[in-house]
Amino acid sequence: GAVVSQHPSRVICKSGTSVKIECRSLDFQATTMFWYRQFPKKSLMLMATSNEGSKATYEQGVEKDKFLINHASLTLSTLTVTSAHPEDSSFYICSARGWRRAGTGELFFGEGSRLTVL
C-alpha cells in the first residue's frame, strides 16, 4: 500500500523555539496532505489541509501563523510549530490520500511526531 513517512518521530525543544516536521509520500504523488493533532486518549483533530503549490486551508480555531504549513512539492509537506509553548506538546500526524480508484481515496498516515515543549 501507499507509504507516508514522517520525520522526526520525537522532538523535545525549549519553549520559544520553532520546530519543523516533514511529511513525505514515498510511492505516490500527493497533491493534498492533511495535518492532524492528537492529545492523549483523544481522537484525531484535523488542523489543516495542505495543498501543493498553494496556501493551506486551516480548520476553525487553528492559528495559521502559529502552525506554518508548506507544500512545496507533490511529495513533501512541512509543518512548522513556531514559538512553541508547553501547550503545543502533542502528537502530530500527517496523512496523504492514495487513490486506488477515482473518488474513493484512502487516507494513509505517517508515523507521527511526538512534540514535547519544555
- Pick the closer one to another protein by CB: 14 or 60: 60
Q: Let me know how many helices (H) and strands (E) the chain has, helices first.
A: 0, 11
Q: Which of residues 51-110 bind another protein (CB under 8 A)?
A: 91, 93, 97, 103-110
The arrangement of strands across the sheet holding 19-25 comes to 4-7, 19-25, 76-81, 67-73
Residues binding another protein: what is the number (CB under 8 A)?
23
- Sole binder of another protein in the list 11, 34, 56, 69 (CB under 8 A): 34
Q: What is the CA angle 115-81-21, rounded to 5?
A: 65
Residue 53 or 103: the one with the smaller Cβ distance to another protein is 103
13, 44, 62, 68: residue in contact with another protein (rule CB under 8 A): 44
Of 82, 113, 83, 65, nearest in space to 15 by CA: 83
Q: Which residues lie near another protein (CB under 8 A)?
A: 1, 6, 32, 34, 42-44, 46, 49, 91, 93, 97, 103-112, 114
